[in-house]
Amino acid sequence: EGFGWRSSLPSLSQVFSSCPTGLALPPRHKRRARRRPTSTSESIDYHFCVLQLLGHHLSTEADTWGLAQIAALLGANNAVHAKAYIDALVAKPGTGEQMKRLLSQCKGLYHRTLVMFLLVNDELKARRYASAKEKVAETVALLHQCDEAFVQASVRSPLTKQSADSVQLAIICTAITNLIK
């Protein structure tokens, strides 16, 4: 089916101009996000948004619908990279058993995040936007479970960047989906 192409829909620059407007997590996740010890933010990081979307080869030709799909696929791709990073950390000599256990737990959560972002993409393709946004919110909840596992164990997470990037991609995906008419 592919991505939508520019027509009467907003241009890429119009979508980017909406990135820093403070669009936020769904209300049920705001409380959790505020108490997280990670550096994740509820608002969109404009530079991150632009860099991520422009990094995709189809973004300059995509309409809003296509950009939402791209954001979902970027979220899935980020989860794949997080899983590979976790594998590298587990294989690293000197990684303790507690850290390996926590990383293993998070690897499972990142796998579920990957699957969920792919489901978001499917929902967007089918133009089921409310369902897509619900699934995006589920990705954020999965990521917070990983963060929380480290907090509960009083262990500093080596996955703060992966978590922050994944949450940011979820927020971007939701924000762009909200722009679809």
41 part of a folded domain: no
Residues 127 and 2: beta-carbon distance below 8 Å: no
Residue found under tokens 């619900």: 134
CA 125 to chain centre: 18
- The whole-chain average pLDDT of the chain stands at 83
What is the domain-level CATH number for residue 84?
A: 1.20.140.40
| Angle formed by the axes of helices 160-179 and 64-91, nearest 10° | 170
Residues 59 and 97: beta-carbon distance below 8 Å: no
Q: What is the pLDDT of residues 48-87, one digit of tens each?
A: 888 888 888 787 788 889 999 999 999 999 999 999 999 9
13 part of a folded domain: no
The dihedral of CA 180, 11, 2, 142: what is its sign? Answer: negative
Residues 112 and 154: beta-carbon distance below 8 Å: no
Q: What is the pLDDT of residue 1?
A: 47
67 part of a folded domain: yes
Q: What is the pLDDT of residue 23?
A: 41
38 part of a folded domain: no
For the chain, what is the domain count? 1
32 part of a folded domain: no
Q: Give mean pLDDT, residues 146-161.
A: 98
Residue 37 scores a pLDDT above 70: no
Residue 127 scores a pLDDT above 60: yes
Q: What is the pLDDT of residue 85?
A: 98
Q: What is the pLDDT of residue 13?
A: 61
27 part of a folded domain: no
| Segments forming the whole domain that contains residue 109 | 46-52+59-179
37 part of a folded domain: no
6 part of a folded domain: no
CB atoms within 10 A of CB 74: 22
Q: What is the pLDDT of residues 80-123, one digit of tens each?
A: 999 999 999 999 999 999 999 999 999 999 999 999 999 999 99
